[in-house]
Amino acid sequence: MEKKNITSDLLDEKQVTNLLGITPRALRLWRRTRGLPHLRLTGKVIRYRASDLDRWLSQHSVAITG
């Protein structure tokens, strides 16, 4: 059985901003004010789990009505 790397699903700030189409400033704001899930590995090193982001986006989606 192949072992899964524990960090294989971690994304850095640049990857997340590209995926979401937002600025690094917006990402930091969402982290601080909207509870965007993240991991602080060191004082300046922050990573995001893709699975956590998927779940968070699903919980914060807004239905568009006609």
pLDDT average per 10 residues of sequence, the chain (66 residues):
67 96 96 94 94 92 78
CB 22 within 8 A of CB 61: no
pLDDT for 64 equals 77
Helix or strand or coil: residue 49? strand
pTM exceeding the 0.75 threshold for the entire prediction: yes
